[in-house]
Chain A
Amino acid sequence: MFDFFEKSHQILGMNARILAYMRPSNSLRAIRIADNKLIAKKILKKNGLPVAQTHSIIKNIHELKNFDWTSLPNTFTLKPNRGLGGEGILIVYARRKRYPYPWIKADKKIVEIKDLESHILNILEGTYSLTNLPDIAFFEERIRLLKLFKPYSYRGIPDIRILIYNSVPIMAELRLPTKESSGKANLHLGGIGTGIDMGTGITTTAIQKDRIIEYVPGTRLPLRGIQIPEWKEILRLAIHAQQITKIGFLGIDIAIDREKGPVILELNTRPGLSIQIANMFPLNERLRRVKGLKVKTINKGVKIAQDLFGGEIEEELEEISGRKVIGINEPIEILDADKIKHQTMAKVDTGAYRTTICSSLAKELGINQAIGQKKVRSALGMEEREIISLSFYMDKRLVTSDAFIADRSEMKYDIIVGRRDLKRFLVDPAKNVFMRQPKQIK
């Protein structure tokens, strides 16, 4: 129980979000930009960032009366400028070819001009705006759903929420629209949130209404393991947008258009905290690690995020398989005759069956008593090698083994670990840790 409270300090709660991050990092000017979709789009567009194209803007009832409805395309999105949490957004997908040429919504309901008029009136009145103040309505191009996301989304566009602080993406989440959320990607309306591994852009845990789920509701389609396309580009966009808008603590929503690729949808100065549940990871520690860093370039920010916060996939793999993931070069600790640990670097060699240790090292550690011999065929012909018993720790696991001794004084590594001793590990050749470290024995 005591442990529970100690651990809970890692969670970022509402109070700390406001006092420690939103207030100090987000100036009034920054909040005004984020809360005003049109201004945010204008600023981002000016700096060459991809945003959804605005078709037309309706500022007041007068403009609505004189609006040229024929100027609208067959598919578009109608949004309130200061909408909150996805409210008041109307999306049409196509248009009937017969009089009165109504548009069609995702649920096949038809939308006529009079429906649009009344919806716009509601927007102008401020029904959907943050403070119920009069608002502006605008038509925007509709983002086209990526094929990859089609089976996962119900009648809407999924987006990727990236929480970014001090030019470093802290945590990310894929938000999927569901039937419950009536096709909106907002979590508080019942959308699905899926954590994303920062390093690889692959989804991890999924939640709906703060509860963990495994599959897309009503199907056997796992939510885990979806690879987000153009992941690095998405991270780069998020950092770039933060640097332009100077919103220090920012939740940015990015959608992926079928043709245009990543498009910035929305900036958010009050990002939701359930991203911590979707990632099964608390925010506080990550935020603290990034605080005060001087991140000069966008690529640097991407790299920091991927290096610091990636790797959840690996841990998960370890949990599922019960095996540790190791690289090609691993630091190991060999136990000598007196069971004292000696650190050295080993090469993991899945091409070899048995582990081989350098004879001089074995002698030095006093473990060179042969317990057997075996003939081996190598590129140099037949050779008889002595076998010794060897114990070592690799990635904190004790491995007891019978190993060959051979003269490896000309080789880079004193020891190679073969298949026989790798049964409890998974080898990831991309996890290449210390290439240049000199071989050493302490």
Chain B
Amino acid sequence: MSPLIQYMINQGVPQETLILLLMLPIVATIIAFSRQIIGIRGFGIYTPLIIAFAFLATGLKYGLVFFITIILVGTLTRLFIRKFRLLYLPRMAIALTAVALAILIIIHLGAYTQKTGLITSSIFAILIMITLVEKFLATQIEKGGKGAIFVTIETLILSIICYFVASWSLLQVFVLEHPFLVIFLAVVINIFLGKWTGLRLSEYFRFRKVIKDIELPKKKRLGKI
């Protein structure tokens, strides 16, 4: 363990705090990589990152339960109150209220069936996920249902990958041992990503027909005789 980290832990800083802080650059880099190199559209960097950390706090199983409930209830509420032609913020407030109610019911069910993992889930993680409803609903308005579902699924997959990386115990030990190496590498990799002008993986697929059609200037064209 790095002497600095050792000192902090000895002084009573929770190990969890340090791990999460040092995982942040790694997770952020994974998200940047998936956007620039792979071409996952996602919701910027904040949403997948915060979902991944919320999963860390609640555990993947209950995290997914909360996530899916939030999206479903939020979307249904939006569709239901659409006819009333309300303004944007009140509309969102109603959607949030409905989601809060749904979470309340889930926790109640958890209490009833005595699922301790569920009822002791960190409320802040749940709150953060609830507030993401605004992002998801705004995307639905902007991109239409199909596009929004696609982006949501992409974001969810990305978050789950980030969750597994951040909860990987070997990596957790590693970041505590080499905190500065992690930070240094994150900066270097992101400078590279920020200057990367190559095609994204998804673009190879998107433009595959055009690419096949390209004639390289050096080679002679084969005439059809």
User: Taking beta carbons and an 8 Å cutoff, which residues of A are in contact with B?
Assistant: 3-4, 6-8, 10-11, 13-16, 19-20, 84, 87, 118, 121-122, 125-127, 132, 188-189, 210, 212, 273-274, 276-277, 280-282, 322, 324, 396-398
A121's closest neighbor in chain B, by CB?
Answer: B87
In Å, the complex CA distance between A6 and B204 comes to 12
Chain A proximity of B166: nearest CB distance (Å) = 26
Chain B proximity of A298: nearest CB distance (Å) = 30
Which A residues are in CB contact (< 8 Å) with B206? 210, 274, 277
Partner of A15, one of B144, B198, B207, B213: B198
B170 interface residue (CB < 8 Å to A) = no
Q: Contact: A127 with B88, CB < 8 Å?
A: yes
In Å, the complex CA distance between A67 and B225 comes to 70
Bitwise, B164-202 to A at CB < 8 A (1) or not (0) is 000000000000000000000000000000011111100
Name the prevailing secondary structure of the B interface residues. Answer: helix
In Å, the complex CA distance between A7 and B213 comes to 9
B219's closest neighbor in chain A, by CB?
Answer: A3
Chain A proximity of B83: nearest CB distance (Å) = 12
Q: Contact: B200 with A15, CB < 8 Å?
A: yes
Which A residues are in CB contact (< 8 Å) with B61? none
B223 interface residue (CB < 8 Å to A) = yes
Which A residues are in CB contact (< 8 Å) with B196? 15
B142's closest neighbor in chain A, by CB?
Answer: A87
A-B CB pair tally, cutoff 8 Å: 80
Q: Contact: A8 with B199, CB < 8 Å?
A: yes
Q: Contact: A13 with B198, CB < 8 Å?
A: yes
B206's closest neighbor in chain A, by CB?
Answer: A210
Given A19-B195, A280-B209: A10 touches B214 (CB 8 Å cut-off): yes
Which B residues are in CB contact (< 8 Å) with A4? 211-212
Partner of B203, one of A6, A13, A84, A125: A13
By Cβ-Cβ distance, the 7 closest A-B pairs, closest first, are A16-B197, A13-B199, A7-B214, A13-B203, A11-B207, A8-B211, A125-B88
Q: Contact: B88 with A122, CB < 8 Å?
A: yes
B79 interface residue (CB < 8 Å to A) = no
B147's closest neighbor in chain A, by CB?
Answer: A188
In Å, the complex CA distance between A121 and B89 comes to 12
Q: Contact: A11 with B197, CB < 8 Å?
A: no
In Å, the complex CA distance between A315 and B214 comes to 13
In Å, the complex CA distance between A14 and B199 comes to 7
Chain A proximity of B202: nearest CB distance (Å) = 9
B203's closest neighbor in chain A, by CB?
Answer: A13
In Å, the complex CA distance between A212 and B206 comes to 12
In Å, the complex CA distance between A189 and B146 comes to 11
In Å, the complex CA distance between A274 and B223 comes to 29
Q: Contact: A118 with B138, CB < 8 Å?
A: no
Which B residues are in CB contact (< 8 Å) with A16? 197-199
Q: Contact: A6 with B216, CB < 8 Å?
A: yes
Q: Contact: A11 with B144, CB < 8 Å?
A: no
Q: Contact: B36 with A282, CB < 8 Å?
A: no
Q: Contact: B214 with A132, CB < 8 Å?
A: no
Chain A proximity of B123: nearest CB distance (Å) = 28
In Å, the complex CA distance between A3 and B218 comes to 12
Chain A proximity of B86: nearest CB distance (Å) = 9
18 A-B pairs with CB atoms under 8 Å apart are A4-B211, A8-B204, A11-B199, A11-B207, A14-B200, A14-B203, A16-B199, A19-B197, A20-B197, A188-B147, A189-B144, A273-B203, A277-B207, A277-B209, A280-B209, A280-B210, A281-B214, A396-B223
In Å, the complex CA distance between A397 and B225 comes to 8
Q: Contact: A280 with B213, CB < 8 Å?
A: yes
Which B residues are in CB contact (< 8 Å) with A189? 144
Chain A proximity of B91: nearest CB distance (Å) = 10
Complex interface residues of chain B between 94 and 138 (CB less than 8 A to chain A): 138
Q: Contact: B209 with A212, CB < 8 Å?
A: yes
Q: Contact: A322 with B199, CB < 8 Å?
A: no
- Among A10, A121, A322, A396, the one with the most B-chain Cβ atoms within 10 Å of its Cβ is A10
In Å, the complex CA distance between A122 and B39 comes to 32
Chain A proximity of B45: nearest CB distance (Å) = 16
Which B residues are in CB contact (< 8 Å) with A282? 207, 210-211, 214
B194's closest neighbor in chain A, by CB?
Answer: A19
Chain B proximity of A276: nearest CB distance (Å) = 5
B141 interface residue (CB < 8 Å to A) = yes
Q: Contact: A125 with B195, CB < 8 Å?
A: no
Given A8-B207, A277-B207: A132 touches B199 (CB 8 Å cut-off): no
Which A residues are in CB contact (< 8 Å) with B88? 122, 125-127
- Besides the known contacts A188-B147, A276-B207, A277-B206, 8 further A-B residue pairs in the complex with CB atoms under 8 A apart: A7-B216, A14-B200, A15-B197, A19-B197, A87-B142, A125-B87, A125-B88, A277-B207
Chain B proximity of A391: nearest CB distance (Å) = 14
Which B residues are in CB contact (< 8 Å) with A15? 36, 196-200
In Å, the complex CA distance between A4 and B207 comes to 11
Chain A proximity of B64: nearest CB distance (Å) = 28
In Å, the complex CA distance between A11 and B147 comes to 24
Which A residues are in CB contact (< 8 Å) with B89? 125
B196's closest neighbor in chain A, by CB?
Answer: A15
Which A residues are in CB contact (< 8 Å) with B85? 118
Chain A proximity of B187: nearest CB distance (Å) = 18
Chain B proximity of A379: nearest CB distance (Å) = 37
Partner of A277, one of B39, B138, B210, B223: B210
Which A residues are in CB contact (< 8 Å) with B144? 189
Q: Contact: A14 with B214, CB < 8 Å?
A: no
In Å, the complex CA distance between A16 and B197 comes to 4
Which A residues are in CB contact (< 8 Å) with B207? 8, 11, 276-277, 282
Which B residues are in CB contact (< 8 Å) with A6? 216
Which B residues are in CB contact (< 8 Å) with A14? 39, 200, 203
In Å, the complex CA distance between A16 and B147 comes to 24
Which A residues are in CB contact (< 8 Å) with B224? 322
